[in-house]
Structures are given as structure tokens and as C-alpha cells.
Amino acid sequence: MKTLTILGSTGSIGQCALDVVRAHPGRFQVKILTAHENVARLAAQAREFDASKAVIGRDGLLEDLKAALSETDIECAAGEQALIEAASQPSDICVAAIVGMAGLRPMLSAIRNSRCVAIANKEPLVSAGPLVLKTARESGCTLLPLDSEHNAVFQGFDPRAHKSGSINRLILTASGGPFRTWSLEKISSATVEQALAHPNWSMGKKISVDSATMMNKGLEIIEAARLFNMPGKKIDVLIHPQSFIHAMVEYSDGSILAQLGAPDMRTPIAHVLGWPDRIATPGRRLDLPDFVRMDFELPDDTRFPALRLAYDSLEAGLPACIALNAANEVAVESFLDRHLPFGSIIPCVRECLEEDIAALSADPSLEEILSLDLDIRARARHIILRCSDKHSISDKKAAILS
Ligand code: NAD
Ligand code: MG
């Protein structure tokens, strides 16, 4: 039996991971489940999988969690510190599925103490990739890419060929999101509901908006650079609206290895949970008759400028990557709160990148990284305020600054 911790078990990835666990009785022993504020779902999961511990991120919800888990011997805890502490309990595999930089500290804690950490939570790789990788090297933890594109690369990536310089490039595919065929003008005034209606994938809100701006692919370029030690110029993006191919690895001999699968996260999750064995997915499978057609297009930088911003940030270095991610998290949250128009998300990120960004030491500590991340968040909020003034929604200022 593999012991398992899921950080962010109530989210889209967390629930898919538990679907895989449910399909394999006797293979996994669920130790720890964590969530931010959904007490009812966390408690139901902890009961169903007989977890040893359930942790809720919001401090004030401890009594609710205890009440929901009364008459069980499941240990309950609450607050950020409890989350980090729970993540430090050794597991055979920990699934890092919190959204955003909020997942960084628990992820590091898991990496220091677990044998394997399967990473869905891409933002910490973008903003603290070198620290995450160094921590894994020092503790001997194996990092398994769970994001579908990176999991696909992982399956087709020959480290020996990489060492000898025989991998020409990685090709990450992108569905193009809900606005792939929309005009720039129509995209600019897209509503929250339209941005959340992804054509192929069912995901959490933040990543759905990131897919609509294509910042998700931008973050994934940086994620791939970190995980596979590849420069940005060797990482290409190709629009593939059917989402059957998740990524390709091109070798110097002209071979291109592609990983195919239904657009269902339970395939990469089954891959990392079973690794190094293969276990069955309870999710959708790709049948040959699905291949009515496969299309490919180059991304359009004019309608989707996020990709260029990500390449430039990767080239510029870690502080720019931190700024890209932090500004994007704030702008997306403001859009979801209906304080910022869709068309202002990427301009806000760009403006944050255009101002001076503090330098970091060569081997920045967690505190240095988090301090720059906080500064950029404050900067992004001020830019959004100015933008809201232009759009005469200044009555929402207090909410933005809070
Ligand atoms: P989600 O919003 O559905 O779930 C997020 C989870 O994190 C929830 O369990 C929530 O309770 C928890 N959480 C949120 N804020 C938190 C905080 N401040 N402290 C502690 N816990 C917190 O998100 P998701 O779609 O499951 O995505 C999770 C991560 O995986 C993201 O980084 C995303 O980019 C990545 N990812 C998601 C998918 C997908 O298909 N959903 C695919 C690839 C990668
Ligand atoms: Mg992805």
C-alpha cells in the first residue's frame, strides 16, 4: 500500500486524484487531505477514504470541521501552519494540488519529507522553481509532473538523450481556450461565465481564466523549462483544439514522440500515482474513432500576448517570473470578482513587468521570494485601481485593496 497525502483535495485535481484512488481499493492508504474552506467536501472525503488527518486552511473553520468529523478518529487541524505541518508528515506520494503561490510552503514541506511529490500546482514552479528543485535534490524526493503537458513530456523524455544534447525541442500543445476563434475586441469584453466555459477541460476557476488568456500556457512554458532544464527557445507551443496530444518531444534524429490521451486529468494522475508501475484510469479513454481529425495552428501573439510575456520573463530571470505570476494571480482574482475587465488582465501583468523589479540574490531564499511576490501583488492592486477608475467602478476600490 502506498501512503498518500493530497494538498488541495477538494479542488478539481484533488477530486480527480481521489477518483483514481477509489478505483484501486487496497492500493493507497490516504493519510492527509487538505482544503481551503470547503468543510463539507473535505469531511466527506476524509470519511470515505478513512484519512488519518483533515486540515482546513481557514483558521476559523476548525470547529466546523471537528463537528463534521465527530464520531470519527480523524484528526482535525486548521490554519496555514497546520497545513505546512501536515504536509511535512512523510508519505510515499504527495499530490500538490493547491492553486497559486499559497501552495509553495506546503509543497516545500512535502518535498522535504515525502518520497515523491506529484506537482499539479504550477505557480510555485514558476516563481520558486530553483528553490523547489534544490529542495528536492537535497532531500532525495522525486518530483513527478502531473500537469498534462508536462506529464506527457515526462513520458516521452529520454534523460540520456537530453544529457547528450539530442533533444531538439519540447512542443506543448494548447487547446486555445474558449476564445481561440474570437476577435480581439470580443475577447476584451468577455464575461466571467464565458471565460470559465472551457471547451475541453473541466478545471478550477483560476486555471480556467488562465486558459482563456493563454497565460496558463505561458506559465507552462516556464514550468517545462524548470522541470526539464530546457531553455525557452527550445520550448514551443502549438494550438491543437482537440486536446488529444498533450505534448511532444522532438529528437535530433527527427523522431517526435507524442503522448496521446483523452482530455481527462485522471490519465496523468493515474500515471503519477502508479509510477513506476502503470495503473488503470477510471476516466475517459481515447478511442480511435475519436480521431475524426486533429488540427494544429500556431498561436496568435496579437490576440494572446501572454505567451510572449512568459517567454520574455523566462529569459529575464527569476524576479520577472515572480512578477509575472504574482501580477497574474491578482489580476485573475480581480476579474473573477468582477472588478477588472477580461481585456485588462494581461495589460495589468505587462505593466507590473515594465516597472523596475527588485533583484534577488543568486540563490534566493524562500523569504526573499515571498517578499518580492508580496511587493508585486501590491503593485498589481494599484494598477488595477487606476484601471477601475478609468472604468468608473471606484466604489469597488476598498474590495480590491483588501
Ligand atoms: P481548484 O480551485 O479546483 O482547487 C484548488 C484546491 O486548493 C482546493 O482544494 C482549495 O481548497 C485549495 N486551496 C485554494 N486556495 C488555498 C489556500 N490559500 N490555501 C490552501 N489551500 C487552498 O484548482 P485546480 O483546478 O484543482 O488546480 C490546482 C492546481 O493544479 C493549479 O495550480 C492548477 O494550475 C493546476 N492544474 C490544474 C489542472 C486542472 O485540470 N484542474 C490541470 C493541470 C494543472
Ligand atoms: Mg496543463
Q: What is the pLDDT along the chain (402 residues), one digit of tens a residue?
A: 999 999 999 999 999 999 999 999 999 999 999 999 999 999 999 999 999 999 999 999 999 999 999 999 999 999 999 999 999 999 999 999 999 999 999 999 999 999 999 999 999 999 999 999 999 999 999 999 999 999 999 999 999 999 999 999 999 999 999 999 999 999 999 999 999 998 887 899 999 999 999 999 999 999 999 999 999 999 999 999 999 999 999 999 999 999 999 999 999 999 999 999 999 999 999 987 767 789 999 999 999 999 999 999 999 999 999 999 999 999 999 999 999 999 999 999 999 999 999 999 999 999 999 999 999 999 999 999 987 766 544 445 555 555
CA 205–ligand 1 middle distance (angstroms): 9
CA distance linking residue 49 with residue 25, whole number of Å: 10
pTM more than 0.85: yes
The answer to whether the CB of 149 is under 6 A from ligand 1 is: no
Cβ atoms of 152 and 247 closer than 8 Å: yes
380 touches ligand 1 (CB under 6 Å): no
**Which cell is 115 given?**
518520497
Q: Mention every residue, 6+ apart, whose C-beta is less than 8 A from residue 108.
A: 131, 132, 135, 366
Q: Which atom of ligand 1 lies closest to the CA of 201?
A: 40
CA distance linking residue 188 with residue 304, whole number of Å:
11
Query: Is 317-401 the same fold as 2-146?
Result: no
CB of 268 shorter than 6 A to ligand 1: no
Task: Tell me, in angstroms, the distance from the centre of ligand 2 to residue 316's CA.
Answer: 23
- For the residues of 189-235, what is the DSSP string, one character each? T--HHHHH--SS----HHHHHHHHHTHHHHHHHHHHHHHHT--GGGE
102 CA → ligand 1 middle, Å: 10
How many whole angstroms from 147 Cα to the centroid of ligand 2? Answer: 5
Choose which CATH entry (3.30.56.10, 3.30.1330.10, 1.10.1740.10, 3.40.50.300) describes domain 317-401.
1.10.1740.10
CA distances from 194 to 197, 214, 288, 299, 313 (A): 5, 14, 31, 20, 28
- Choosing from 207, 208, 215 the residue with most ligand 1 atoms within 8 A of its CB, the one to mutate for a pocket test is 207
First to last CA, the chain: 45
C-alpha gyration radius of the chain: 21
**Domain boundaries in the chain?**
2-146, 158-264+288-292, 317-401
Out of 3.40.190.10, 3.40.225.10, 3.40.50.2000, 3.40.50.720, the CATH code matching 2-146 is 3.40.50.720
What the block records as the C-alpha cell of 346 is: 494581461
Q: How many CB atoms lie within 10 A of CB 160?
A: 7
Give the span between the Cα atoms of 145 and 269, in whole angstroms: 9
Q: How many degrees, rounded to 5, is the angle at CA 250 between CA 174 and CA 224?
A: 50
Cell 489580476 belongs to which residue? 331
